[in-house]
Amino acid sequence: MKAKVEVFLKAGVLDVQGKAIEGALHGLGFGDVSGVRVGKTIEFDVAGADAAKAEAEVKAMCDRLLANTVIEGYRVEVG
Amino acid sequence: MKAAVVVFPGSNCDRDCKSAIETTTDAKVEMVWHQDAELPQGLDLIVLPGGFSYGDYLRCGAMAAQSPVMRAVAAAADEGRAVVGICNGFQILCEALMLPGALLRNADLKYVCKAVELDVVNAQTRFTSRYGATRRATMTVGNGEGNFFADEQTLDRLEGEGQVVFRYRNNPNGSSRDIAGIVNARGNVLGIMPHPDRTFEPDLVSADGAALFQSVLASA
């Protein structure tokens, strides 16, 4: 099964990279852009056929290592 | 007196720490490899040095926090032994949940490397007793992700409980409430972004870092 984890800074945490990119996009004339957030994607394979079990396991991985939940939130897709 | 400095792949201040401690105190310093599951017996101080452990992969300090030696460091802290994390070591302590909060990218996205003036906010910790007379220190910082973050409630608690130990006089990186160093609730684990290990004699901009090592080893 494929697992895909997306990790982003939480809404209340200033994303300075996102801010810088937003400024650069404005500089290029893309003035409609706002709310840029930079995150990361982590993909991997999980053995087994039970999607619910795999998803629970991937969430545990996020809580313990893949995300720092003090500052980051995550989204998990398993399938 | 005996201290240990943990060496992770990518640590680059491990020998600075050894040199700083052995120059400014009577302690002997042993280097401990990150794969060691046990620490030497009878340690009075454990230091997690600065650097870029594991190349800052995933997040600064995230991989190091999972290494075998950190279980031993956490157990030693539970016994009440003194632990100091400097710069990357501070990031590792946060990632290992031994200190609250996290270190974010600097607010202006720049790596900052310079001397900074610090207020010693709490001079009654075992790490700061020798700063009591002046309650000031100059140390150098060298970080790209030194911007301390915690939620407001945690920040209030840290301030209320005297856990904020060092504060920048001119915040170089956007740290919440100008925080440069904190201790855990028990007071035996310190995380500090500026480098006492790079400022322990006058030729190194400042000798103020020496008092930190002297304070903690005098407390043992």
Residue of A nearest to B64 (CA): A65
Any residues with CB less than 8 A from the CB of A64 and at least 6 apart, and which? Answer: none
What pTM does this model have? Answer: 0.94
From the candidates B13, B17, B60, B87, which is the catalytic residue? B87
Predicted local distance difference test score (pLDDT) of residue B120: 98
The string of pLDDT tens digits covering residues B23-42 is 999 999 999 999 999 999 99
Task: Report the pLDDT averaged over residues A26-55.
Answer: 96
The string of pLDDT tens digits covering residues B110-132 is 999 999 999 999 999 999 999 98
Could you give the count of Cα atoms lying within 13 Å of B67 in the half-sphere of its Cβ?
Answer: 22
Q: A26 to chain B, minimum CA–CA distance in Å?
A: 18
For domain A2-78, give the CATH number.
Answer: 3.30.1280.10
**CA B70 – CA A43 distance, rounded (Å):** 27
Residue B34 catalytic?
A: no
Cβ neighbourhood burial of A40 (10 Å; 0-12, 13-18, 19+): middle
DSSP of B164-203: EEEEESS-SS--GGGEEEEE-TTS-EEEESSBGGG-SSGG
Predicted local distance difference test score (pLDDT) of residue B162: 97
Task: Report the pLDDT averaged over residues B200-205.
Answer: 95
Task: Report the pLDDT averaged over residues A48-76.
Answer: 96
Residue of A nearest to B105 (CA): A16
Domain range B2-218, CATH class? alpha beta
- Please give the span between the terminal C-alpha atoms of chain B, in angstroms, as a whole number: 8
Any residues with CB less than 8 A from the CB of B210 and at least 6 apart, and which? Answer: B20, B23, B24, B196, B200, B201
**CA B25 – CA B91 distance, rounded (Å):** 26
Residue B87 catalytic?
A: yes
Nearest to B216 by CA among B190, B180, B192, B177: B190
**CB-based contact B94 A13, cutoff 8 Å:** no
In chain B, % of residues over pLDDT 90:
97
Q: A46 to chain B, minimum CA–CA distance in Å?
A: 19
The string of pLDDT tens digits covering residues B54-74 is 999 999 999 999 999 999 999
Distances (CA, A) of B11 to A39, B28, B64, B159: 26, 20, 10, 30
Tokens at B66, concatenated: 């999972």
The string of pLDDT tens digits covering residues B84-93 is 999 999 999 9
**CA B20 – CA A64 distance, rounded (Å):** 34
Tokens at B108, concatenated: 């202006």
**CA B174 – CA B157 distance, rounded (Å):** 20
Predicted local distance difference test score (pLDDT) of residue B48: 98
Predicted local distance difference test score (pLDDT) of residue A12: 87
More confident residue, A48 or B82: B82
**CA B192 – CA B213 distance, rounded (Å):** 13
Q: A12 to chain B, minimum CA–CA distance in Å?
A: 9
Predicted local distance difference test score (pLDDT) of residue B132: 86
From chain B, the residues in CB contact with A14 under 8 A are 104, 107, 174
Distances (CA, A) of A75 to A6, A41, A63, A79: 5, 10, 11, 14
Tell me, what's the ipTM?
0.87
**CB-based contact A70 B58, cutoff 8 Å:** no
Nearest to B73 by CA among B103, B92, B46, B91: B46
**CB-based contact A65 B108, cutoff 8 Å:** no
Does the pLDDT value for residue B169 go beyond 90?
yes
